[in-house]
Amino acid sequence: MTTKDKILKAAREAFAEKGFNGVSVDEIAKRAGVKKALIYYYFPSKEDLFEEVWKVAIEELEDHLFKQVESERGYFNKIKRFLRAYIDFVTNRRVLSEVIEKERASVLSDERWKDLRERYEGFLSKVASLIAEGKKYNAVYEDIDPIAAANLISSSISPKRESILDKIISMIMRGIFKGS
């Protein structure tokens, strides 16, 4: 593992545990086993480090979800596989899920995270496209707004709700998809 990778891993864990505002660069350096100056060598600021962690988390989430469904033919199988992949990501990649969960509201509302917000909105657009595809196949209720459904899905499937994720998925399926 490279020094940069150690820093990113330590930062992911710290941000997942305490959030952006709850962790210092000193703490990340200590967790990574490096000097604070070395963090600044790779990342000019804590904000830059956080941006890298957030982007990687969203990219891994997106890759994990959409690679699972790209070869699926039937729409209901595709959406079920997508939702199962989401649960898999949340339960098996807990640190990345926690980073997204803990900082989503901040990223969506704080102007300094404009690029991250746009990246997250791009992810939501892909989820919304999946919902809109269901309308083409008459599998999604006509009055369902794909963007609203994408936001519902992304905010409902959370590591904090692990014990009830199957029930949440069931409610989403019954509320959005015809015949489920």
DSSP annotation string for 112-156: GGHHHHHHHHHHHHHHHHHHHHHHHTT-B-TT--HHHHHHHHHHH
Return the pLDDT at 48: 97
Q: What CATH number is attached to the domain comprising 172?
A: 1.10.357.10
Residue 160: predicted pLDDT? 81
- Of 7, 174, 170, 148, which is closest to residue 84 (Cα–Cα)? 170
Task: Determine, yes or no, domain membership for 56.
Answer: yes
Question: For the chain, how many structural domains are there in total?
Answer: 1
Tell me what pLDDT residue 180 has: 65
pLDDT at 157: 87
For residue 128, being part of any structural domain is answered with yes
Does residue 37 form part of some domain? no
Q: What is the pLDDT of residue 158?
A: 85
- The per-residue pLDDT for 111 is 92
Question: Alpha-carbon torsion 42, 46, 48, 54, what sign?
Answer: positive
Looking at the domain assignment, is residue 31 inside a domain?
no
Domain for residue 119, yes or no?
yes
Which ranges of the chain have pLDDT less than 50? none
21-54 confidence digits (pLDDT tens): 999 999 999 999 999 999 999 999 999 999 999 9
Q: Which pTM does this prediction carry? A: 0.89
pLDDT of residue 166: 87
Residues spanned by the domain of 107: 51-176
